[in-house]
Amino acid sequence: MGWVWLLGFIACFCTLAYQRASLHVWTVGLSVFFVLMARLSHAAISTSVTIFVIFLIIILPLYAANWRRKFFTKSILRFYRKSMPTMSSTEREALSAGTIAWEGDLFRGDPDWNKLLNFAKPELTYEEQEFLKGPVETLCAAIDDWDITHRRADLPPEMWQFLKDEGFFGLQISKQYGGKGFSAYAQSQILIKVYGRSAAVGTSIAVPNSLGPGELLFHYGTEEQKNYYLPRLARGEEVPCFALTGLEAGSDAGAMTDKGFVTWGEHEGKKVLGVCLNWNKRYITLAPIATMIGLAFKLYDPDHLLGGQKNLGITCALIPRDTKGVTIGRRHLPCDIVFQNGPTQGHNVFIPMDYIIGGPAMVGQGWRMLMECLAAGRAISLPGSAVAGAKVAVYAGGAYARIRRQFKMPIGRFEGIEEVLARIVGFTYMMDATRTFTAGMINLGEKPALASAITKYHVTEMGRVVGNDAMDIHGGKGIMLGPHNYLGRSYQAIPIAITVEGANILTRNMIIFGQGAMRCHPYVFAELEAAQLEDEEKSLQAFDKALMGHMTYFLTNFVRTFVLGLTNGRLVRFSKGKKKRYFQQASRFSAAFAMMSDISMLVLGGSLKRRENISARLGDILSYLYILSSVLKHYVDQGENKDDLPLVRWASLYCLYQIQQRFDELLKNFPNRWLGYVLRFIIFPFGMHFSLPNDKLSQKIAQLVMEPTATRFRLSEGAFTTDVPGNMCAVLEDALIKVIAAEEVEKVVKQAVHDGVIKNDSLSEQMKQAFEKKLISAGDLEIFYAAQEARLKVIAVDDFAPEELVRYPYGHVAKVSKADI
């Protein structure tokens, strides 16, 4: 009967662990098991008593809190303090900023899919829809990006005025202060439409509505500051910029050398307490034309004029452009995208204390303020720019692949083009789903710092791939810049989105998993806080409580990982038709991720912070779980259109494969090789079986965008496709429809050539012969010529006289700033 005991115990143990039972339930459940097994197996009373006593010896100390803390928890706490990572104040504030929503469920290993699907779908209000139909459409129709980028190196004056008059700079400012008060989703939709037309115009709108003075004032400003500045910002009377990056401080904001000292000075003829500032900032968008500079600097109080502390920390202030000592106006040129960007310097600039955002009460709170604002803003502007490029790539790329011919057939019929086009389609669906879901969470009041980091990193990285693939499809058409090139400038702008608001390498290697571990894990942050308490008794009690919960949490995820691996996720109870298996596999990998996170932190301790590749792979797993969740929700929110199911399959398989591969890389490179082998068996008991979407599925989704299908229109929804002069998207659509119509005529002619009825000549000559032999009608011939004309219009590229390519007069030499030497 020994094997029956063993199997019964394993079944009972796994059931309790899988269901995340509490300690009390564990005690009752195992007690009942021992009693029943003793009765059923007719074991001797002495044997049953012995087994039960062993069980009590194990379980009772868990109830004896004082004993447990003294002989168990205290030793663990001592070890933990030695191995816990050191953390600067800037790191701590960055990692603890914002709120946690769905990404927390994924991190903890037991996502509730009904909860995901019940999150409100983001929708536009009537006012937001009208703004998109009115001012946004008007703006997009007026944009001539070649004129802006090549001739002017700036927006036309009348366009700047239009942006101010129509409230484009106050999209996020509440109506109370004269702004639009639009939702995060509405801002994203607006930016997608504008970015699709011009990266320069899109950026000029995005920056005042993103991380900067407006948002900082709204959340942290004094009432006096809000009442004065916010209406002026909303009306465009003030043009803001925010200066954070310096020569030495990029991603490492703590290294900034820009300093301010609390001192007495003169302001408007009066002696007041204020700050004497010196700074040297660069890469500041809108700086050359800004009337108001938001500035981040380190503040010191050597004379203790504000209190006993000397180093007050990073602080944010608002400084009028015309303040004495401010230097501003010169420009950078980011990848030849001509939005206003440049350096700013300040030398012995004195400002009164009420220039500090939030006044003296917010001294030293600057980094926290910035991180909390970035927690939401990072998910809107840059993902919007990437999604805009992807939507244009889908709309234009699918049409171009059908219109453009080589070897007497549309290039989209070649498998090489189908593979690339399928990736564009699949990535665009994933990008749109992810940015929509994250914007929706912001609409619900969240400040999803981790989700924003995931969205910013992965959407812009997928945008990079989409941009490269779109250029591959278009070939020479894509690289020849000019008024009729609809890809070149957005391709040039790709590195900008990759670089700013958190460089992508930093975001992937350090922020995503680091922030997840701190904010999403139910016990890690509590343990860290407990270990740092000065009161030893309170520290021990708090740490003990967190540790006991952590141990149960780890045990349940360990068991769930193995059980779901053995059953291939089929024990996950969720009914959602053909997508059920994707939900189940996501739950399986979510549990495995939660287990691997704990083991990685246990094995590596504080050194995990330096093992960036491990942290990055863990972050990737969490990210692809988030993207997969977004894809599944996006499909449901859009009405579960069956035509889009191939896109869902492609995206889901891609995400699951990437998750599997990251686990594989993580286990191959795990510091403890033997533990890595054991963990591989726990996670993949029957091996790794996921693969990338097959050729048949890729071909299917590629063909969906090579004609005017409902799927193609849903993918490109939000892009500016209105038929106005200069909009190549409209030209492509017209050509696509005409080319498809002509294909039926061409089939008749090709068959005639095959049958020897007409000679195998150029297509135009074949058409003439077919018409003469009355194989096609005059109407058919007209359809063919209309398609030919439209096709040639699409594949044409721009050429210029030499003088047309000169932006500046010959002999003009750009000056070099002393600060740059």
Backbone angles phi, psi at 318, to 5 degrees: -110, 125
Question: For residue 569, what are its two tokens?
Answer: 């996720």
Q: Which residue of the set 128, 215, 446, 501 is catalytic? A: 501
Which residues are CB-neighbours of 663 under 8 A, at least 6 positions away?
Answer: 589, 592, 596, 617, 621, 683, 684
Which residues are CB-neighbours of 67 under 8 A, at least 6 positions away?
Answer: 61
Helix (H) or strand (E) holding 311: strand 311-320
- Residue type, position 584, single letter: Q
Backbone angles phi, psi at 744, to 5 degrees: -65, -40
Q: How far is CA 749 from the centre of its chain?
A: 50
CB atoms within 10 A of CB 266: 11
Note if 744 is an active site residue: no
Structural contact between residues 150 and 807, judged by C-beta atoms closer than 8 angstroms: yes
CA angle at 312 for the pair 309 and 317, rounded to the nearest 5°: 145
- Residue type, position 446, single letter: E
Give the dihedral sign, CA 455/457/459/462. Answer: negative
CA–CA separation, 422 and 525 (whole Å): 42
Which residues are CB-neighbours of 808 under 8 A, at least 6 positions away?
Answer: none
Nearest residue to 432 via CA among 627, 623, 645: 627
CA–CA separation, 372 and 364 (whole Å): 14
CA–CA separation, 740 and 615 (whole Å): 50
CA angle at 214 for the pair 208 and 217, rounded to the nearest 5°: 165
Helices and strands in the chain: count of H runs, count of E runs: 35, 9
CA–CA separation, 18 and 591 (whole Å): 10
Classify each residue of 492-506 as buried b or exposed e, where b means 16 or more C-beta atoms within 10 Å of its C-beta. Answer: bbbebbbbbbbebeb
CA–CA separation, 614 and 610 (whole Å): 9
Reduce the DSSP state of residue 319 to 3 states and report it. Answer: strand
Length of the chain: 821
Q: Catalogue the active-site residues.
A: 501
